[in-house]
Amino acid sequence: MMQITQLDHRWEISGDVLNGTVTQILNASCALSMSNNTVIDFAKVEAIDTSTISLILEWKRRAQKENQSIKFVNLPANLTSLTQLYGVAEIIN
């Protein structure tokens, strides 16, 4: 089961971030506030796939649209590898 929660300026994601859950996570995140120091924490994420990159890029677009900056922390090693493979590591970091 996946979950996204907000604690102050920190979004915490837990569970699986996969093709079948990304839309649910994105929709749930629309209710969360974003500020210039929002940190999105992947420490409790159990599984990812390539759709996780799409989710991150959606959050980056939202931040840009809202004139905010966000930071991603505790990215799983396999997600970091995927971002490098797809050439988006610089966009995400």
Q: Which CATH architecture has domain 3-92?
A: 2-Layer Sandwich (3.30)
The pLDDT value given to residue 65: 96
Confidence of residue 92 (pLDDT cuts 50, 70, 90): confident
Q: Which two tokens stand for residue 14?
A: 């837990």
Burial class (CB in 10 A: 0-12, 13-18, 19+), 26: middle
Q: Model confidence over 45-90: pLDDT tens digits?
A: 999 999 999 999 999 999 999 999 999 999 999 999 999 999 999 9
The DSSP 8-state label assigned to residue 70 in this structure reads E
Whether the per-residue pLDDT at 93 is higher than 80: the answer is no
The pLDDT value given to residue 70: 96
Q: What is the dihedral of CA 37, 59, 53, 38, to 10 degrees?
A: 10
Residue-range domain boundaries for the chain? 3-92
